[in-house]
C-alpha cells in the first residue's frame, strides 16, 4: 500500500475511509487525474501559450474540455496531437478557418478534399511569391537609383515611399 502504517492510523486516514474515498492509484479520482492534462501542461506539451489554447477552445478548433469538480479544464492527452496539427498547419500558411476545415475533413477521411485544399494553398503561396519577387525587383531598382547621386539628387527610395 502507498501509505505508511502511522498514516493509516492517523485521523486523516480515518477521515478518508469514512468518506468512502479510495486513496490508491487504482481509484477513479486518481485515474481521471492522471489521464488528463491541465491547461498549463497541455500548453507546454504543445509548445504554445496558454492564451492560445483558450483562444482555440473559444473559436472551436479545440473541443471544450471536461471540467474537474474544482472547475479546472481537464484535457485528454490526444489534444496535444490536435494542437500540433494546428501549429503545423499554421506553419504551412493555412488560416484558422482552413485549419478548421482540414480538421473536419480529416475526421471524414475526405482525402480528395484535403488535396484540393492543399492545392489551393499552393496556388495562393505561388501568387504571393510572384508579388514578393516583383516587390524585390522594384526595391533593388530603387537602391541602384539611390546610389546614383549625380542623376538622382533626391533619394528615389524615399520618393517612391512618399508617393
Give the tens place of pLDDT for each residue, 93-109.
Answer: 999 999 999 999 988 88
Rounded to an integer, the average pLDDT of 17-22 is 49
Say if residue 90's pLDDT is above 70.
yes
Cα separation, 82 vs 78, in Å, equals 7
pLDDT at 35: 74
Tell me the per-residue pLDDT of 30-80, one tens digit each, with 9 for 90 and over. Answer: 444 457 899 999 999 999 999 999 999 999 999 999 998 899 999 999 999
Task: Provide the sign of the torsion angle of the four alpha carbons 15, 20, 25, 30, taken in this order.
Answer: negative
Task: Please list, in sequence order, all residues whose beta carbon lies within 8 angstroms of the beta carbon of residue 56, skipping any fewer than 6 positions away.
Answer: 62, 83, 86
Q: Round the average pLDDT of the chain to a whole number and report it.
A: 83
Amino acid at each position: 500500500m502507498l501509505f505508511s502504517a502511522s498514516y493509516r492510523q492517523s485521523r486523516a486516514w480515518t477521515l478518508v475511509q469514512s468518506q468512502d474515498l479510495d486513496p490508491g492509484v487504482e481509484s477513479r479520482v486518481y485515474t481521471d487525474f492522471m489521464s488528463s492534462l491541465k491547461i498549463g501542461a497541455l500548453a507546454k506539451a504543445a509548445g504554445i501559450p496558454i492564451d492560445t489554447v483558450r483562444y482555440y477552445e473559444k473559436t472551436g478548433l479545440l473541443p471544450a474540455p471536461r471540467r474537474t469538480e474544482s472547475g479546472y479544464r481537464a484535457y485528454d492527452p490526444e489534444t496535444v496531437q490536435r494542437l500540433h496539427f494546428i501549429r503545423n498547419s499554421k506553419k504551412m500558411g493555412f488560416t484558422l478557418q482552413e485549419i478548421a476545415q482540414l480538421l473536419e475533413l480529416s475526421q471524414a477521411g475526405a482525402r480528395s478534399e484535403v488535396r484540393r485544399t492543399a492545392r489551393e494553398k499552393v496556388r495562393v503561396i505561388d501568387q504571393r511569391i510572384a508579388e514578393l519577387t516583383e516587390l524585390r525587383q522594384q526595391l533593388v531598382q530603387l537602391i541602384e537609383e539611390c546610389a546614383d547621386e549625380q542623376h538622382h539628387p533626391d533619394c528615389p527610395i524615399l520618393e517612391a515611399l512618399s508617393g
